[in-house]
Chain A
Amino acid sequence: MALPVTDALGFFLMSFLQPHLLLLTAAGVFAGIYIGAIPGLSVTMAVSILISFTFSWEVNPALALIAGIFTGGVYGGSRSAILLNIPGAPAAVATAFDGYPLALRGEAGPAIGLATVMSVIGGFVGIAALAVAAPAISEFALLVAPRDYFLLAVMGILLVGALSGESLAKGVFAGALGVTIGMVGLDPMTAEQRFTFGTIHLLNGIPYIVAMIGFFGVSEALVQMRDMDAAVVRQQVGRILPSLAMVRRYLPLSLRSSVTGVVIGALPGTGGDIAALMAYDQAKRSVKSPSRPFGEGAYEGIVAPESANNAAIGGAYIPMLTLGIPGDAVTAVIIGALYIHGLKPGPLLLVETPHLFWFTVGNLVLANLFLLVFGLSGIRLFAKLVEIPKGILLPLIVVLSVVGTYAIQNSVIDVYWMVGCGILGYFLRVYGYQTGPVVLGVILGPLMDASFRRAMISVQDDPLALLRDMASNPLSLALVLSLVLMLASQSPLRALLRRAR
């Protein structure tokens, strides 16, 4: 990054000063918010589809559009989580826990306003971390061994399992079901067939977006169909702008959650989804007197995940730009785009093209400024979505789910899987199993499998040696301890101990 300060500043301000870059960033944020908000259309899908348009462009406009969509999309998921109880993206799963109860109380406006401001604050913390601490954090990421990836993924799934649903057992079942779905297809390491039942249609596995759209989109439509007679909640979205006092009150929590977001985002493979859940859990444990009990419409329950998931964007860029390792699914797609533009993401990227780094940092700042503008202004229009009669909205959700699923790899078979997941998801939800852990299991299952096996291979398949390694490495030990603590706090053991006292 040996670039004179004036040059760095020039590249930083590039997207502010060049009208076409400014416009593309704005368009990206705007489109991202609405794509992220539409249930079933994920920001990963939007970025992958839009990247195909940008292949013939120059690299800066392409990066500007992608950064805009990424920033807008991660935030946009919160709107449908708050207004419809359908997280637009996995990163918004935690936002729905308290966001929807708030909407039911008629406080959707302040909830969305607060989510916007906190997202922007989180976004700035993420960018600051990217700009200032990139080298330090990437060194930390270098220390993460396969066994730690495995532990992190287990933690992610357990967190969702424990956070939602009726019992830990049902949450763990849902997570394990998701992991099993994620295993379908050819084993990436040995090319052995797993759960393919002899059909070629399953050799490539079931894409996680297919499962996600089914479990979140179609199953939600079916659940809502069950409650068709329930009165439509008219959303009171009069006051959107949160008061300065409110922002000041939640600022400390927002900053704490943002730091969590940056760290989780910077860890390869884990992105805004885990960051948001971790931050939510942290807030639940650390905030002594929330505005309301968590799960019943606590503002803290929105502040924590929304700050963390947008902070994770800056975090996810760190390993991508410094090591060439994607921080999450979207940055994996961006890496593909960088290769197509003739760049080599990795340690050499910063040495050979330092201007790209400063351009990206500046562009992300611009995207967050646009997020503030669009996030606080388009809510009335957006809230109309919830006032569409269910008889029209639910069939429309199904149609959008079909379009989104088919767009992934132009396969009708995927649509069948999506519908199957939707119907299974309906019954799971009716009987108290949450679908969040299933989807997270599908996403993290392959990562867990690969990292567990790499860890095992590194100790010549000796489980005892793996345990010794875990006990002697500070990072692994910390992860194991937090995992044990988490399990102990969720198990009947805690209740027994309390009773004994």
Chain B
Amino acid sequence: MEKTSRPARPGELAFGYVLLSLSLFLFRQAHAIEGFASPSSAGTFPLAATGLMAAMSLVAIFRGHRAARASAPRGGARALLDEVAPLGVVAFAALVVAYALALDIAGFHAATFLFLAVAIRAWHGRGLLVAIAVAAATLVAVHVVFRVAFAVVLPQGWLFR
């Protein structure tokens, strides 16, 4: 299904090269497993998969160049920020990473409460008290459903142990 080509997005070619480098790096790793020992060896399939990744990212880069020639994408950091990684997304992603890291330190309940309170305050925008109330209520609901009803184990963390 070849769709009609759309104009290239800012950073698309750079991303294509990142994927190509990743593919080549993984291909080297796959080669390190057993080389080209035999068709039924442990390394054959990883080699085929990573080789296919490299070939397909080359195709995507080739098409990206063609699309860029047809209509040059908006360049510069401004366009990248607008279309690919707006500040809101970067901030939310950073908050999610911080939340994941905090799980091991503060445990599920404290980390989740903080994450929810900060995220809801920032993106729902109804004042700190509302954010804290919603975060607390959500946490209680999650605890009752998963910890109590489904007996799911939740991260403990070492800070409050």
Contacts and interface: CB of A to CB of B under 8 A. Distances in A.
B6 A453 contact: no
Contacts of B108: 402-403, 406
B159 interface: no
B26 A399 contact: no
30 contacts: A49-B151, A167-B60, A168-B2, A169-B60, A173-B53, A176-B50, A176-B56, A180-B49, A187-B42, A193-B33, A194-B43, A218-B96, A225-B92, A389-B124, A391-B123, A392-B134, A398-B115, A403-B142, A403-B154, A406-B103, A406-B155, A412-B155, A415-B100, A415-B103, A419-B97, A445-B45, A452-B40, A453-B39, A453-B41, A456-B40
Nearest to A453: B40
B52 interface: yes
A169 B40 contact: no
B24 to A, nearest CB: 13
A416 B101 CA distance: 8
A172 B52 contact: yes
Interface in A381-400: 389-392, 394-396, 398-400
A339 interface: no
A394 B2 contact: no
B103 A490 contact: no
Interface stretch (A74-82, A298-306, A420-428): A420-428
A406 B128 CA distance: 29
B104 A169 contact: no
A448 B45 contact: yes
Interface centre among A176, A194, A226 (most CB of B within 10 A): A176
A286 interface: no
A226 B2 contact: no
B79 interface: no
B46 A222 contact: no
A190 B41 CA distance: 9
Given A173-B56, A430-B9, A495-B2, A183 B89 contact: no
A195 interface: yes
A449 B42 CA distance: 9
A492 interface: yes
Contacts of A163: 1
Given A391-B120, A391-B125, 19 more contacts: A168-B2, A172-B52, A176-B56, A180-B49, A183-B49, A221-B92, A225-B92, A228-B123, A395-B116, A396-B116, A402-B99, A406-B108, A407-B153, A412-B104, A415-B100, A416-B100, A431-B9, A452-B40, A461-B38
Contact of B88 (A168, A176, A225): A225
A189 interface: yes
A329 interface: no
Contact of A177 (B16, B38, B53, B97): B53
A453 B104 CA distance: 40
B150 to A, nearest CB: 6
A49 B145 CA distance: 13
A189 B45 CA distance: 13
Contact of B153 (A389, A406, A426): A406
- Decide if the interface of chain B is mainly helix, strand, loop or mixed: helix
B125 A461 contact: no
A399 B115 contact: yes
A195 B46 contact: yes
A377 interface: no
A35 B66 CA distance: 45
B68 interface: no
B46 A180 contact: yes
A430 B84 contact: yes
Contact of B3 (A167, A176, A426): A167
Interface residues of B, number: 64
A347 to B, nearest CB: 29
Contacts of B34: 192
Interface residues of A, number: 71
Interface in B105-155: 108, 112, 115-116, 119-120, 122-125, 134, 138, 142, 146, 150-155
B150 A410 contact: no
Contact of B39 (A168, A192, A448, A463): A463
Given A167-B63, A194-B46, A391-B124, A403 B146 contact: yes
Given A180-B53, A192-B34, A453-B40, A427 B96 contact: no
Contacts of A17: none
Given A49-B152, A399-B138, A445-B49, A192 B3 contact: no
B103 A412 contact: yes
Given A195-B30, A222-B89, A176 B53 contact: yes
Contact of B45 (A53, A427, A449): A449
Nearest to A407: B152
A394 B99 CA distance: 14
B126 to A, nearest CB: 8
Contact of B49 (A162, A179, A197, A399): A179
Interface centre among A218, A221, A406 (most CB of B within 10 A): A406
A463 B29 CA distance: 24
A395 B99 CA distance: 11
Q: Which 7 A-B pairs have the closest CB atoms?
A: A391-B124, A391-B123, A173-B56, A395-B119, A456-B40, A169-B59, A187-B42
Contacts of B155: 406, 412, 415
Nearest to B123: A391
B29 A195 contact: yes
B44 A453 contact: yes
A453 B46 CA distance: 12
A167 B16 CA distance: 14
Contact of A189 (B16, B19, B42, B122): B42
Contacts of A406: 103, 108, 152-155
A147 interface: no
Contact of B124 (A194, A392, A402): A392
Contacts of A166: 3, 6
